A and B are shown apart, each in its own frame.
Chain A
Amino acid sequence: MMRFFTGLALVFLMFFCPSPVLRAGTFEVESRAELNRLMVELRAQQFLTHATFGPKDTDVQALADRMMQIGVRRAASEWIDTQFQLPASTHQQLAEDMVAADGFETTQASINVARYRYHAWWHNAVTAEDQLRQRVAWALMQICVVGESGSNFNNRAAGKLGKGRWLGLSNYYDMLLNNSFNNYRDVLGDVTFHPIMGVWLSHLRNQKQDASQNIFPDENYAREILQLFSIGLYRLNTDGTFQRNPSGDLIPTYDNTEIETFARLFTGLTYNQSNSLRSGTVNFQEPMMMFDEFHDQDPKQVFLGQTLPGGVGGVADINAGLDNIMNHPSAGPFIVRRLIQRLVRSNPSKGYMRRVVRKFNNNGQGVKGDMKAVLKAILLDQEAWDGIRMVRRANPWRLEVTGRGTERSRLSEPVVLYASFIRRYGSTDNPNGYFLMNKLNFNWAQAPYASPSVFNFYLPDFQPAGDIKEYQASRRIPERTIYAPEFQILDGVFANRTPNRFRADVINEELVHTNLNNSTAVIRTTISYDFSAEKALVSDSAALVAHLDAKLCCGTMSNATRQALVETLNLTTNETNRFRVAMIGVLTSPAYSIAE
């Protein structure tokens, strides 16, 4: 339980009632010391919302303690350094352990064994200590996108190493985890050679041109690695704006000539331990191998006026090509914008972009693409904090917390929001402590491994119709246009189903995840929720609502919404209903879903 939130009183001073532009909530406390502590706790929460799958009370307290000692930003930096040192909590081994603990093989029939992939993902999102790494891997998974609709990706049959093929996606995810704190060039390399990507974008068994057969290299991977994983369609400035030619047109980064060239580069790869390019067992466990005779060994005119000489062997050729892509000036702004959108906000300013891209382009030791430097720059930048303004006032001691709105917000990803709910409140009845949670894609249009295409669940440039599309941003925003990607999956179905999930969870105080363990029996995992802190406040509507605002919304719920909820609660003396309405009300509020 958070120490101070329980003692908060909510004040409704009508002359403080904000204009609709502001989202101010006011928290009244007893002393200056409490005021400072509350402010730091909210900062710790805000930071952990960016850097983890959601703040837990104990983590907030620990980080707030340290922030009180050495300052907010330094404590956050120290926390990141600690996270950098933690070993990766991997997903494939965990999934295999979970399968074994239930007495199964990874090739087991009749149990939908591939579901253990989701179990492992949720378990790590909820419990893993290396939260920053988990969160960054999830961001990378939404840049270098693969999805379970790939051929054989849900297959329980054994692959080359005897494990169920469905583990391939977990293996891919582990590859991203292991690279989360490496160099983005490592990400590009390991993604390119991973057999899951080889199947997904069909450069596995891609062969050099054979004009006599009218066979040309498959262009799929060449196109998507450039368009989606590295540099994008148009040349970018370091501040995230587009470069333009003298007549004002956007400048394409490549045309179909380059696509055809890079298609020639990604040739000759197939499953590891194959005897030839076109024969060999599915092997999702090891990087693809090269058959040089099927690799296009001719020189290739690539970016920046460079030519890959060819004749160096396929693997060296591909690596030289990836170096060339990585050296493209658009790589920094392209990747940085996507990482900021996943971790902090939908619309980084030009200054934010410039500051982080500078780190991407040079970590201080002349290295481009250093993920550690980039992540620190993203998470510690002033814009990682300035979405919430906090003003301390005296007589009485109170904190005014304001969400600064449109250009500094984002709609939280549904699975991240739900993971944070489980981290706050959930425990599992599994004897091994496993959170054997299901895919849950009935509730929202997002789930681990479930991207419908290489374009992810939503596009970085999606704008919902209406106000956001029509809004002209301030000059600090690139191109003065704002985006809200996650709204692409907030449709008329899921805008009702997601509140329905929270409502049922609060009422039942548990969610039972049911699965088959063979064709007849059923295996259940119950995730129970501990709402004791909220229930303890149920007789004081204002205190309960202030507590929930601070804990779940970083204090950004407006006084007007808080007042409406308090007035509603005061209509009944039934404590169960007071608790439930307060809890469901906050979990379904704009302030909970829109985060700074």
Chain B
Amino acid sequence: MARKNKFELPRLDRRAFMQLSGGCAALSSTSLLSTLVNLKMTNTAVAASGGDLSGYKALVCVFFLGGYDSYNVLAPYETAEYNDYASARTNLALPREDLLEISDRSGRSFGVHPGMGEVRDMYNSNNLAFVANVGSLIEPTNPNNYNDVAKPLGLYSHSDLIQHWQTCVPQSRSQVTGWGGRMADMLTDTVNQNPSIAMNIALGALNTFETGSSVVPYVVQQSGATALSGYGSTGTGLNGLYTKFTDDMLGQQYGDLLEKSFAETRRLSIDGAIGFNSATNSVTLNTEFPDTSLANNLKMVARTIGAADTLQQSRQIFFVSIGGWDHHDEVINRQAGMLPMVSQALKAFYDATVELGVAADVTTFTASDFARTLSSNGNGSDHAWGGNHMVMGGSVSGGQVYGDYPASLALGNPLDQGRGRLIPSTSVDEYNADLACWFGVENNAELEDILPNIRNFHPAGEGPPPVGFMQGGLGGGEGGFIQPPTGGNPGGGSQGGGAAGGFGF
């Protein structure tokens, strides 16, 4: 059995990537290949170049599994725009008088879902922003070039679009790592000194977003990590012998890669749980969280952020998912029940980061498979494409709707691919590039390793990030705030003195 070079991709990947060059003019096969294959080499480069990895930062991805109907999360409010929305959505339109009115910096009004008062409040206090009509793309796509550009594989299917959001390689189906995983591969040597707990931490289950070539997400439950019972004793009693044999067995060499992976997973799980629980249990948190699954998960995220020093991690990436958004039926009633829960959980989490003194160091962003059709299938909506998302945190330049919210949602509008499936006007790559650059990735070959298609949307260099929703983003790291962070005390935390990356406190 030929064991291939560790840093080579499996053959399928290489072929799959080779084929991309045909459909993707701006990207040569070699550039895409090299970005992924040479990932490991860039590790050294990051450490050597001293990319800005000072201080503490965390990214928190809240993923709405199933495709959330985000044009009812952020709806038009201007009269004419609302009327187009209502005509497209028919029985799925929220009444205008129920919407929570907000306005962007140009004075254009939007309506937040009536169950999301906390989100509206955080928007108004500039700690939360919306990014409009985001979706997976390979290259800029619009009604005029639609038939000529490469488009993501398997459009409108859950499994593909979930993967695309997480991999940022939508021209490939599987086998590629997630962009959070690649970011961790690149940064982990510098920012994570913990031998057994990955800087990528998942609440509940493994996910592609956080999976890298070498970094495997560390999965915890909302109650913390599960330890191995009876492990950790010495001597010749039951637990002492069990501990000894477990160590011996897991320390052996395994030629069967499945056995090897199994043994490694067990080893990491045993060591990780012990360290993790010890660290997070020592964090006190007075902020009250609602007793919902999402809120409890975010509470554990907050505790883990509070324990970052003990865990020897100066960068952490979290993945929290919440299922049940595939509302082919009863979308109005179900979202009315679920969105308030989301809104309250986000608010509690933000408050907890304030309490921990890290509000400006933690950025939370939402993701979902896709938005849903604007038109109704009777009492639900089907799979679509571009949708609206939220970014939250003390370093977000909030109180703004970023991207390009469509001027008209009427069916047949220029972006409409049928039934109100909208071509995204901002790519997932652009959205993520703002986050990655804030996190400490430089807008050069580094960012191309994380987001292989980014050059189709955004040039390398010192200019501002593509969307611009992070403070300081306009200054390209030169520290130019649009406004100072509110609601938090970024300098008072235990995480190394507040925001890094050119924020001149």
Contact = CB atoms under 8 A, between A and B. Distances in A.
A508 interface: no
Chain B at the A interface: SS class = loop
Given A205-B378, A499-B228, A492 B273 contact: yes
Contacts of B225: 492-493, 496
Contact of B155 (A256, A473, A564, A589): A256
Contacts of A492: 218-220, 225-226, 265, 268-269, 272-273
B215 A214 contact: no
Interface stretch (B248-256, B292-300, B306-314, B446-454): B248-256
A3 interface: no
Contacts of A484: 258, 261
Nearest to A458: B206
B237 A588 contact: no
A588 B229 CA distance: 12
A564 B12 contact: no
A569 to B, nearest CB: 8
Contacts of B96: none
B159 A227 contact: yes
B258 A410 contact: yes
Interface stretch (A50-58, A76-84, A399-407): A399-407
B156 A214 contact: no
A564 B90 contact: no
Interface size class of A (residues with CB under 8 A): 35 or more
Contacts of B216: 464-466
Nearest to A259: B156
Interface stretch (B3-11, B46-54, B346-354): B3-11
Contact of B6 (A233, A470, A503): A470
Contacts of A594: 256, 258-259, 262
A594 B23 CA distance: 41
A560 interface: yes
Nearest to A216: B419
A14 interface: no
Interface in A447-500: 452-455, 459, 461, 463-474, 479-482, 484, 487-497, 499-500
B249 A565 contact: yes
Interface string A184-225: 000000000000000000100111000001111111100100
Interface in B208-230: 211-216, 218-221, 225-230
Contacts of A577: 236-238, 241
Interface stretch (A18-26, A29-37, A305-313, A428-436): A18-26
Interface string B458-488: 0000000000000000000000000000000
B269 A495 contact: yes
Contact count band on B: 35 or more
B329 A151 contact: yes
A23 B206 contact: no
Nearest to B223: A493
Interface string B64-75: 011000000000
A151 B373 CA distance: 21
A474 B2 contact: yes
A491 B257 CA distance: 17
Given A409-B256, A410-B258, A492-B219, A470 B378 contact: no
Given A214-B376, A453-B65, A561 B252 contact: yes
A369 interface: no
A590 interface: yes
A489 B211 CA distance: 14
B396 to A, nearest CB: 30
Contact of A214 (B3, B88, B272): B88
A225 B329 CA distance: 19
Contact of B221 (A411, A480, A493, A589): A493
A467 B10 contact: no
Interface string A553-596: 00000101100110011011010110011001100111101100
Given A472-B4, A585-B245, A495 B382 contact: no
Interface of B: 1-4, 6-8, 10-13, 15-16, 18-19, 22-23, 65-66, 88, 90, 153-160, 173-175, 177, 181, 202, 205-206, 211-216, 218-221, 225-230, 236-238, 241-242, 244-246, 248-249, 252-266, 268-270, 272-273, 323-324, 326, 328-329, 373, 375-378, 380, 382-383, 411, 419
Interface of A: 19-23, 149, 151, 202, 205-207, 213-220, 223, 227, 233, 247-250, 252, 256, 259, 346, 403, 405-407, 409-411, 445, 452-455, 459, 461, 463-474, 479-482, 484, 487-497, 499-500, 503-504, 507, 558, 560-561, 564-565, 568-569, 571-572, 574, 576-577, 580-581, 584-585, 588-591, 593-594
